Structure 1
């Protein structure tokens, strides 16, 4: 079992980096980006470290 990073909370359980039993990421760092030219809401941002499980 990989160690969870308690500094990165995550509820996306279909990501390969999601901890299996806790709502945390197992990566040491993540990359956050956007899919919008001018983001104005949190829904405009994305975890670019996401990998489908």
Structure 2
């Protein structure tokens, strides 16, 4: 699995987590929001997440 050192990640339940390092293996990720206007970190998520 390749490691993308531009995308740090600690969510090891994701199928794109680089397992042996705390990075993502995707070339890019999609960030999504839960509200019309994101005002804090909790209002956003990684839309590229998929479970293993």
TM-score, normalised to structure 2, is: 0.93
Q: Gaps spanning 5+ residues in structure 2: where? A: none
CA distance in 2, matches of 1:36, 1:18: 26
Number of residue pairs matched by the alignment: 52
CA distance in 1, matches of 2:16, 2:34: 21
When the two chains are superposed, the root-mean-square deviation of aligned CA atoms in Å is 0.7
TM-score, normalised to structure 1, is: 0.92
Point out 4+ residue stretches in structure 1 off by more than 4 angstroms. Answer: none
